[in-house]
Amino acid sequence: MWSLSPAEVEALGLSVRIAAWSTAAGLPLAVAAAHVLARRDFWGKEVLNALLHMPLVLPPVVTGYLLLLLLGRRGLVGAWLEQTFGLVFAFRWTGAVVAAAVVAFPLMVRPIRLSLEAVDPRLESAAMTLGANRFWAWLTVTLPLSLPGVLVGAILGFTRSLGEFGATVTFVSNIPGETQTLSLAVYSALQVPGGEPGALRLTVIIVVVTIVALVASEMLGRYVARRTRGYASA
Amino acid sequence: MLEVDVERRLGDFRIEARFRSDRGVTALFGRSGAGKTSIVNMVSGLLRPDRGRIAVDGHVLFDSAAGIDLPPWKRRIGYVFQEGRLFPHLTVRRNLLYGWRFAPAAERYLTMEQAVALLDLGALLRRRPPSLSGGEKQRVAMGRALLSSPRALLLDEPLASLDVLMKREILPYIERLDEMGIPILYVSHSLDEVSRLARNLVLVSAGRVTASGEVDEILNRLELWSPEDETETGTMLTTRVARHDAEGGITHLDFRGGELRVPLADIPEGVAVRVWIRARDVGVATERPRGLSLRNVLKGTLVEIGGGGAGPVTELRLRIGDTTLTALVTRGAVRELALAPGQEVYALIKSANLDRRQLSLVAAMAGPGSPL
């Protein structure tokens, strides 16, 4: 009962790979978005904020459908990407990465933004008077000080990507070995008579991986916070 | 040589400052809200003047006419902030080295070891800023700024958030900064700090420079202080320690015009000391008093009566030798004693009031490692 079938192992590996790529690709963008939201004031900031948070409240099926319209082979951007770069997302595992990243994005941005806002911007001016240009000051002072938030964002993003279902199944379908992640495999198992033991096994795996990730995030966050802030008042 | 000529509007407030600062400490003195911090922020490049020119040793940092506006990281101006602003995620050592790395190797004039020795930072190197005391933080902040080998140094009320004991502890270190031979702008609203540290003084009031020059000269110009001003009226005397009378608990100070007796002070003979004599600690008699507990009786001439507006007190200016002393007396006393300019009078100063806080070593003459 507890040994995994090759298909299940494949689904597990695929899930981890997709979640890892989604986090790796989404994180720099999330940091950039969080920085803009935390430090800049511009016309339309609220609109951008709402836009970035949309995947959080939109039904995942709708997000997946929008991705299909946008990035599908005949989609607005998708067609152009295929012609210019030969890049195809639809029904590929890379498409699953995009779906997971889009859905996880707001979860990554939020903690990063909060911790960026907590960093005293006057420390950056101090760094600039010492010879660091704007970017270096940000990179060597503000970013390390917001590392706890970045880590929390990364792990939240990773776990959210791991469990992604709706947008993925709509955008890239449920193809074993290509786009069938753990959650899609659970769904598939439940569609077949006698598939419940398999579904249960996969569910246990998902629960364990998620708990491990969340506990790790909490511990890491605390460790980094201790190292960077040390005390309540920085 | 630091040359500053800036104008900047901040809401309804207008800053218009023009002054020069040679090597050594120049105090930017004035009450809080006078615009002192805005002025140093403009020098550092953190605040952009609307118009003007800033140059240090011939390097133009800002010139609105020529369209020059160097960003802070290209100005090479050290800045010690009121709250230190150490990087909390870095050890003291890495805080110190932060600016050092950015300074061009050929222009570094201080090594890590020298800075550590100058400011006694050896025991702190492995610590992190949150565990440092207020005084230690400011010492590290000074070291960090110096190690970036700046062409000028700005200190914005570095003692403001420290208690009296910590101020005592850190003042000698600030005096040592003088050794660097660069212009140092020291922002303060404390007469005590200014008289002790500064050679030159720039008086700032409501965004404008109202006077600038040597410390003694400026502080003695009465008209600079209005009675409503939080700054007290008084006289800055430059004296020299003549001798100590340990038995009597008295130190004798010589100045041009006479001798001043103050409570025994642990300062070597021959050292120059500035004494701030508050006008309200000075009384006047028309003949030499007898049987008096006051230790300082100085003979002089009444030069001028006036000031203080319509209030019950007025100021007297007394000429004692080469020195002009200010006394604060009631208008009633002026009437009763029939005081008039030209009259011979005796100035009475209570020596107990000339305690340690009124005395300050003249930094340049006392040198580093002074016993204060």
| Secondary structure of B49-115 in HEC code, one letter for each residue | CCEEEEEECCEEEEECCCCEECCHHHHCEEEECCCCCCCCCCCHHHHHHHHHHHCCHHHCCCCHHHH
Q: Which of A128, A228, A233 is opposite residue B89, by nearest beta carbon?
A: A228
- Residues A157-181, mean pLDDT to the nearest whole number: 90
Phi, psi of B186 (to 5 degrees): -115, 110
- Check residue B223 and give its pLDDT: 47
Domain ranges for chain A: 6-228
Amino acid (one-letter) located at B271: V
Q: Which residue(s) pair with B302 in the sheet?
A: B318
What's the predicted TM-score (pTM) here?
0.72
Q: Exposure string (b/e) for A183-213, b if CB count within 10 Å is 16 or more?
A: bbbbbbbeeeeeeeebbebbbebbeebeeeb
CATH annotation of B2-219:
3.40.50.300
Q: Residue B333: pLDDT band by 50, 70, 90 thresholds?
A: confident
Tokens in use for B350? 């209570």
> Any chain A CB within 8 A of the CB of B13?
no
The residue that leads in pLDDT, B368 or B54, is B54
- With a cut of 90, say whether residue A31 has pLDDT above it: yes
Cα(B111)–Cα(B148) distance, integer angstroms: 10
**The residue count for chain B:** 372
Three-point CA angle B166, B168, B173, nearest 5°: 95
Which chain B residues in 116-135 lie under 8 Å from chain A, judged by CB atoms?
Answer: 128-131
What residues in A contact B45, CB-CB < 8 Å? 128-129
Nearest to B40 by CA among B134, B145, B192, B143: B145
- With a cut of 70, say whether residue A228 has pLDDT above it: no
Q: Tell me chain B's radius of gyration from C-alpha atoms.
A: 23
- Cα distance from B127 to chain A (closest Cα, Å)? 11
- Check residue A135 and give its pLDDT: 94
Judged by DSSP in three states, B282 sits in: strand
B234-366 CATH choice from 3.40.50.11750, 2.40.50.100, 2.40.37.10, 2.160.10.10: 2.40.50.100
Phi, psi of B322 (to 5 degrees): -90, 0
Q: Which of A132, A133, A228 is opposite residue B88, by nearest beta carbon?
A: A228
Cα(A119)–Cα(B272) distance, integer angstroms: 46
- With a cut of 90, say whether residue B321 has pLDDT above it: no
Phi, psi of B219 (to 5 degrees): -65, -25
**Do B79 and A131 make contact, defined as CB atoms within 8 angstroms?**
no
The string of pLDDT tens digits covering residues B233-278 is: 778 788 888 888 888 888 888 888 788 888 887 777 887 777 878 8
Which chain B residues in 86-115 lie under 8 Å from chain A, judged by CB atoms?
Answer: 87-89, 98-99, 101-103
B291: left (phi over 0), alpha (psi -120 to 50) or beta: left
- Cα distance from A49 to chain B (closest Cα, Å)? 29
Helix (H) or strand (E) holding B219: helix B215-219
Please, are residues B213 and B200 in contact by the beta-carbon 8 Å criterion? yes
Nearest to B75 by CA among B145, B157, B19: B145
Q: Which of A130, A141, A228 is opposite residue B102, by nearest beta carbon?
A: A130
What residues in A contact B97, CB-CB < 8 Å? none
Give the strand pairing for B234-245 and B250-255. antiparallel
Please, are residues B148 and B100 in contact by the beta-carbon 8 Å criterion? yes
- Residues B200-229, mean pLDDT to the nearest whole number: 72
How many other CB atoms are found less than 10 A from the CB of residue B132? 18
**The residue count for chain A:** 234
Cα(B44)–Cα(B54) distance, integer angstroms: 10
User: What top-level class would CATH report for the domain A6-228?
Assistant: mainly alpha
- With a cut of 90, say whether residue B87 has pLDDT above it: yes
Cα(A108)–Cα(A122) distance, integer angstroms: 25
Please, are residues B282 and B347 in contact by the beta-carbon 8 Å criterion? yes
**Do B78 and A231 make contact, defined as CB atoms within 8 angstroms?**
no
Cα(A106)–Cα(A51) distance, integer angstroms: 9
- Check residue B222 and give its pLDDT: 42
- Check residue B268 and give its pLDDT: 79
Cα(B273)–Cα(B267) distance, integer angstroms: 9
> Any chain B CB within 8 A of the CB of A226?
no
- Check residue B139 and give its pLDDT: 93
- With a cut of 90, say whether residue B127 has pLDDT above it: yes
Q: Which residue of B has its CA nearest to A226?
A: B89
Judged by DSSP in three states, A160 sits in: helix
Q: Is B340 buried (19+), middle (13-18) or exposed (0-12) by CB count in 10 A?
A: exposed
Please, are residues A127 and B98 in contact by the beta-carbon 8 Å criterion? yes
Q: Which of B77, B89, B128 is opposite residue A129, by nearest beta carbon?
A: B77
Residues in Cβ contact with B40 at an 8 Å cutoff, skipping those fewer than 6 apart: B28, B79, B154, B156, B185, B187
| Local structure of residue B371 (DSSP, 8 states) | -
| Local structure of residue B246 (DSSP, 8 states) | T
Q: Residue A2: pLDDT band by 50, 70, 90 thresholds?
A: low
The string of pLDDT tens digits covering residues B112-126 is: 999 999 999 999 999
- With a cut of 90, say whether residue A97 has pLDDT above it: yes
Domain ranges for chain B: 2-219, 234-366
> Any chain B CB within 8 A of the CB of A131?
yes
**Do A233 and B81 make contact, defined as CB atoms within 8 angstroms?**
no
Q: Which of A123, A131, A227 is opposite residue B87, by nearest beta carbon?
A: A123
Q: Which of A130, A145, A233 is opposite residue B148, by nearest beta carbon?
A: A130
Cα(B116)–Cα(B97) distance, integer angstroms: 11
Q: Residue B361: pLDDT band by 50, 70, 90 thresholds?
A: low
- With a cut of 80, say whether residue A3 has pLDDT above it: no
Cα(B170)–Cα(B157) distance, integer angstroms: 12
